[in-house]
Every structure is written in C-alpha cells, then in structure tokens.
Structure 1
Amino acid sequence: MLFKKKPSLRNQYDASLLKLMAQTKRDWEYAKKIEQSVFEKDSLLYSQTKLAEVKYFYLFKEARNRDIKGDTTTL
C-alpha cells in the first residue's frame, strides 16, 4: 500500500472528456427532438441544433486523436 500507483492526470482528463462527450451527445439528441417536434421552423432553433452537433463532433475528434476507447452511452 506504500507504493500504490496513483492515477495519472491523463487518465483523469480522459474520463472527464468521456463524461463531457456523453452530456454533449444527450444535449444534441434533445435539440434534434425539439427541432423535429416544433411546428414552425426558425433559424435560431436550427442553429442551436447545429451548434450542439458541432460541439459533439469536435469532442469526438479530440477523443479519437487522444486514442480514447470508451462508451459514452453508459456514462
């Protein structure tokens, strides 16, 4: 117990990135549902949905660059 290995900073950031990806994906799916259910389409609603999509794919690209393997649906 004296020489127990501490988790590295990279692992902590990877875990927080996966958690952020899961939240961003839920936000994007929620924005898509709202956009589909609204009768009158407007540019603000479309831009908010597109922004949520771009945020998710940016985080996805970052996770791929860092070679993170994980499931964002269970977080």
Structure 2
Amino acid sequence: MGFLRRKSIRKEFDEKLIQQLFKQKEEWNRQKKLVANSVEPSPDILFELKLAQAKYFFYLREAKKRNLRLNNWK
C-alpha cells in the first residue's frame, strides 16, 4: 500500500519538475533575447541571465538523475 502511494507522489513531483523545466527554459530564452537586443546590457540583466541559465541546468540535471523522458511531455 505504501509503495503505491510513494509511486504516485513521485509521479506528481516528476510532472512538477518537468513543468518547471519548460518554464525555466522559456525564461532563459527570454533573458537571452533581452541581452541580445540590448546595446549595452546592465550588470543586473547579465546577472538575471546567468541565474536563469543556472536554474535551467539545475532542473535539467535533476530530470536526468530521475531518468525522465522529456519527449512524452508538453
């Protein structure tokens, strides 16, 4: 009984992880476009870009650790 509950909780958190991964990828791409369109990007904008990139790669590594298949999502 506990095994089934654990499996359903894992699936729920895997789905949330995938949603966050795609959301963070969009944010990172938005930040990259902002920097590309800027004549002289401020240090704050560059910081936000690096932060978005770090978050995206964190979610990507976590998905890889959990052996999630991304082609079935979205």
TM-score, length basis structure 2:
0.83
Calculate percent identity across the aligned residue pairs: 26
Deviations 1:9-62 (A, max 9, x none): 111110110001000000000000000001122211111101000000000000
Q: What value does the CA root-mean-square deviation take over the aligned residues?
A: 2.0
Give the partner amino acid of 1:16.
Answer: K
Give the partner amino acid of 1:29.
Answer: N
In structure 1, the residue matched to 2:45 is 45
Larger Rg: 1
For these two proteins, the number of residue pairs brought into alignment is: 70
Equivalent position SS for 2:14: helix
1:70 is displaced (CA, Å) by: 1.5
Gaps of 5+ in 1: none
Task: Report which structure shows greater RCO (CA 8 Å, sep ≥6).
Answer: 1
Gaps of 5+ in 2: none
TM-score, length basis structure 1:
0.82
Higher helix share: 2
